[in-house]
Amino acid sequence: MNYTINDNNLLSPAEVVELSSLPLNLCLEDREYYNSIRTYCAEESKLVQINNLFVNHESLLFKPLFNIIDESFVRKSQSDAFQKSKREKIVFIIKNYLLRFSSTQIDEDIVWFIDNYSQTYFHWITEALPRLFLIYKIDPKITIALPSYYKDMNYVSQSLSCFNGINIKWIENSRKYRLNKVSIPTQAGTPACYHKTLLLEFKNYILNQIISKDNNPYPSRVYISRNKGNKRIVINEDKVLNILSHFGYTTIYNEDLSWQEQIKYAYHAKSIVSIHGAGLTNVLFMESKASVLEFRHDNNNFWDCFYRLSALNEINYYYLKCKVGRKSNIKDYEYHHGDIVVDEVQLSLTLKKMHNHG
């Protein structure tokens, strides 16, 4: 690949992001917190090029024996913790030097744009694909590598169809691979602290690929249900649906739709309501001045990613704190995965405020 970039391999410069708006139904007790996160610095993205690396099915890039590079992980802290763990080291050596004794050589120059979280929809859309986009703008005839289990995720193949000309090498579970040369676009920003310029440029690119000028009808008010899943669902959804129906909402289940259809629903919607989760990632593709209502857990402000995603996209953001009705079969520290009960009175009041706004 012939990259025409500046001498220090800078792909996207760091930028200070100032979110223009607070939640429109901001609670008094949350005001200090939301004011504290309105301004942040999104890190730059550089092109890191490394020769003679191994890669495995778990998305780890490494040199012998246990020299795993930081870019394998979504955060530097995870890399540090992994490499300090004796247990992880033993498991890694067994997997990659005993069970995967031999290696397969890949001679093509490889672009590696994922980390250990990229297989989840939120991280794939807001982090991995924008990194790929940075390289694709420079050279669309690239070869990427992905673990073979990514084949099972429909949104991966369907979203990659927007990048015509790329070639894919699949990393199988049975062996490790030796890469002759790897080019890694580092993450611009950090999870939830988005690089605004890059993310909006990526959004416009995707919309240009998907949104046609036909007149196919899409509802203006959309509720994205998670109740076909096995965690983080709305326990009293029947009552919630009755209220939303009164306000003219159409219910969709993203697992029943192609990725392209999901994007079209988001783009055409004037308002979206959903519980905290992957479905709200698509607010990225809404038009500015639309509205979003997020159901969130009552004691959890840490997961503010959809507020930030809405604010940098100039979308009116509302939230509703909900009680946890029961917990799914998860670890206690992942409290935000618990199922919730939506306060029906507060939902009606919030929807009235949303649709009277402006």
Domain boundary among 142, 161, 187: 187
| pLDDT tens digit sequence for 235-283 | 999 999 999 999 999 999 999 999 999 999 999 999 999 999 899 999 9
* 309 and 352 fall within a common domain: yes
pTM given for the model = 0.92
Query: How distant is the alpha carbon of residue 68 from its chain centre?
Result: 23
Q: Domain total for the chain?
A: 2
* 345 and 276 fall within a common domain: yes
Domain boundary among 129, 161, 187: 187
Alpha carbons 118 and 34: distance in angstroms, whole number = 27
Enter the tokens of residue 152.
């099972």
- Residues for the chain: how many in total? 358
* 158 and 61 fall within a common domain: yes
Q: Is residue 226 part of a domain?
A: yes
* 171 and 289 fall within a common domain: no
- CA-closest candidate to residue 276, choices 325, 321, 244: 321
Q: Is residue 22 part of a domain?
A: no
* 159 and 227 fall within a common domain: no
Please identify which residue in the block is written with the tokens 């416009």.
Answer: 204
Q: How buried is residue 265: exposed, middle or buried, by Cβ count under 10 Å (0-12/13-18/19+)?
A: buried
Alpha carbons 249 and 252: distance in angstroms, whole number = 10
Q: Is residue 130 part of a domain?
A: yes
Which domain, by its residues, includes 176?
Answer: 45-187
Alpha carbons 303 and 226: distance in angstroms, whole number = 17
Domain boundary among 187, 210, 238: 187
Q: Is residue 126 part of a domain?
A: yes
Q: Is residue 215 part of a domain?
A: no
pLDDT of residue 327: 53
CATH number for position 347 = 3.40.50
* 100 and 56 fall within a common domain: yes
Q: How confident is the model at residue 213 (pLDDT cuts 50, 70, 90)?
A: low
| Range with the poorest average pLDDT among 136-140, 190-194, 199-203, 205-209 | 190-194
* 174 and 250 fall within a common domain: no
Q: Is residue 316 part of a domain?
A: yes
* 296 and 165 fall within a common domain: no
Give the β-pairing of 221-224 and 250-252.
Answer: parallel
Please identify which residue in the block is written with the tokens 């067994």.
Answer: 94
